[in-house]
Amino acid sequence: MPILLGVNIDHVATVRQARYARNAGSINIEPDPVEAALAAERGGAAGITAHLRQDRRHIVDRDIFRLKEAISTKLNLEMGNTLEIVAIVLKVLPADVCLVPESREEITTEGGLDCVTHRSLLEPTVKALRDVGIAVSLFIDPAPEQIAAAAALGAPVVELHTGAYAEATGTARDAELARLIRAAKLAAETGIQVNAGHGLNYTNIGPILTLPKLVELNIGHSIVSRSLFVGLEQATREMVELLNPQVFNTDGDLRLS
């Protein structure tokens, strides 16, 4: 089975907000996250990911409703566990939702959701979303206790946080990869779908493809960065092609030809 790619378009909206923060819900402003999503789909994206934050620092409400109507793949909506955002999600009804931790001080999501500590707060949200047919994912660190908590919550999917792997080097990176592999194996054995993401790019993606039962990767910043030079459709296509492990050598490094 091919590994699916979800393209996160948050940073397209970040560029828009740099100039149009006060009227991002208006028309004829650029760049348009919906146009970015359509380009990513043309490049082979299996889904579009967007994070509707409480402070609306990039994606805004109008974007989410427009994305749901415009794209032909699936919308994966990242969200913090707040009543306001849950209410919006229940109106939009995206195919997927990924519950993530959220802090106003962070630039981007910095760690996994603590499903052990916050289990009682997450339970009603997971149930409400699942009751309307949304596939719920929990963005968690690759730790056994978090996988066990996700299973107890009835989440059908986890997205393993790959940030520590992406930021490490040498033997530390090897250790983080081994941690991810163990977590993926445990999740799959528990009957939970394995997704992954955060900090992944065109040069560090190879070893991640060895995660057992990996179904989907969600990548944003690297693809949007690459798109400045080749366009978003081509940047997406290049990443989709990299999900084929045959383009990597035996050391997990990208073949350069």
Band of pLDDT at residue 106, cut at 50, 70 and 90: very low
Mean pLDDT of 155-160: 98
- pLDDT above 90 coverage of the chain, percent: 84
pTM, to two decimals = 0.91
For 109-120, what is each residue's pLDDT tens digit?
567 999 999 999
Residue 27 is predicted with a pLDDT of 60
For 200-228, what is each residue's pLDDT tens digit?
999 999 999 999 999 999 999 999 999 99
Mean pLDDT of 162-169: 97
Residue 21 is predicted with a pLDDT of 72
For residue 45, give the 3-state DSSP assignment.
coil
Q: Which CATH superfamily is domain 4-244 in?
A: Aldolase class I (3.20.20.70)
Catalytic residue numbers read 51, 78, 198
Residue 36 is predicted with a pLDDT of 98
- pLDDT above 70 coverage of the chain, percent: 89
φ, ψ at 219 (rounded to 5°): -135, 135
Residue 244 is predicted with a pLDDT of 75
Does residue 103 have a pLDDT over 80? no
Domain boundaries, the chain: 4-244
CA gap 95, 237 in Å, rounded: 23
Does residue 256 have a pLDDT over 50? no
DSSP 178-205: HHHHHHHHHHHHTT-EEEEESS--TTTH
Instruction: Tell me the average pLDDT of the chain.
Output: 91
Give the C-alpha distances (Å, rounded to integers) separating 239 from 181, 187, 212, 219, 248. 21, 25, 20, 9, 13
Residue 111 is predicted with a pLDDT of 77
Least confident of 53-57, 139-143, 188-192, 252-256: 252-256
Residue 245 is predicted with a pLDDT of 61
Does residue 187 have a pLDDT over 50? yes
Give the C-alpha distances (Å, rounded to integers) separating 215 from 22, 188, 211, 232. 38, 10, 9, 23
Does residue 46 have a pLDDT over 90? yes
CA gap 123, 90 in Å, rounded: 16
